[in-house]
Amino acid sequence: MSTTGINFKITSLVVLGLFVLIAAFVLKTRQSALRVNAGNDISSQYAQDGDVIYLNTAKNVKYLGSRKCQTCHPAIYESYSKAEMGRSMVKLDTTNIIENYPQAEAVYDSVRNYYYEMVMRDGDFYQREYRLDSEGHVIHERWAEAEYAMGSGNNLRMYFDNENGMLYQLPLTWYVHKQAWDLSPGYREFENLRFTRFATAKCLSCHNSYMQVSLTANERYVKPFPLGIGCERCHGPGELHVKQMRGEKIENLPQNAATIVNPRKLSPQRQLDVCRQCHLLGKAWALRGQNDWFDYRPGKLLKSHRSVYF
């Protein structure tokens, strides 16, 4: 056999060996992702309500977004996306306008001597801040894009500028019942924060679907942002459920285990906690342990995630 033939054979064997190793690694990774941890104390990993163990309450189960639910539940998805929670946050465009344009008159902050306008220009939206001198000439001007709107539109809509993954609330809000623009909540009563009030994880955890947190800075999120409070807010992360419905085998799956939470089947305390995660108001909140605001899972007791003080 020629030297060329020997080299070709060796190269082929090396490539084949690498392929087998990669395939084995992928298979092992896939299997491990579908394996339920079967420790002695399963309650420390998953929430158990009565006889049912909810596997998607584990912290490492991924959120997939409501679009994944749409595949098997199209009618429910269509109806829910039109409801208040489904419309809690939108990418602002000309198809979802509820406000009056052009703005009749500028909103004036007499304390800090700024004027504000909401402007629609070529399909995009901006808030303009300006100040006038004694003769009515503009001596200061600042523009910020209103890229996202938060609020279903039943009561009000607030607007946010996206700066490298951080969402900053803008000074103007649309008040539906008044059919008028005014300063955003708290801006007139306490202090006009202008363009510096950013949306914290605590705010977004209830006014939108859970965001993917960036590792580069606090309160910074990875695009594309989920829009609207999604199905998984009340049913928990959907990763295991989708895999189960696709027929993928989940190892160590107990007979009394569920891969998704149906709030109707929870005990009264846990059922109420699904709602209380956002609708239990208090004067102060304190997260327990190493939890963050995106860590609560439906099916768990809310008191295991945070304390609420009245």
- Rounded CA separation 257/239 (Å): 15
Confidence at residue 307, expressed as pLDDT on a 0 to 100 scale: 96
- Rounded CA separation 186/190 (Å): 5
Confidence at residue 40, expressed as pLDDT on a 0 to 100 scale: 45
Instruction: List the one residue out of 276, 306, 274 whose CA is nearest residue 290.
Output: 306
Percent pLDDT > 90 in the chain is 81
Report residue 253 as tokens.
Answer: 């799956």
Is 7 exposed, middle or buried (CB count within 10 Å of its CB: 0-12, 13-18, 19+)? exposed
Return mean pLDDT, the chain. 89
Confidence at residue 5, expressed as pLDDT on a 0 to 100 scale: 52
Mean pLDDT is lowest, of 105-119, 154-168, 251-265, for: 251-265
The CA distances from residue 109 to 155, 182, 185, 198, in Å, are: 22, 9, 13, 20
Listed in sequence order, the DSSP H helices in 208-263 are: 232-235, 239-245
Whether pLDDT at 27 is above 50: no
- Rounded CA separation 163/160 (Å): 9
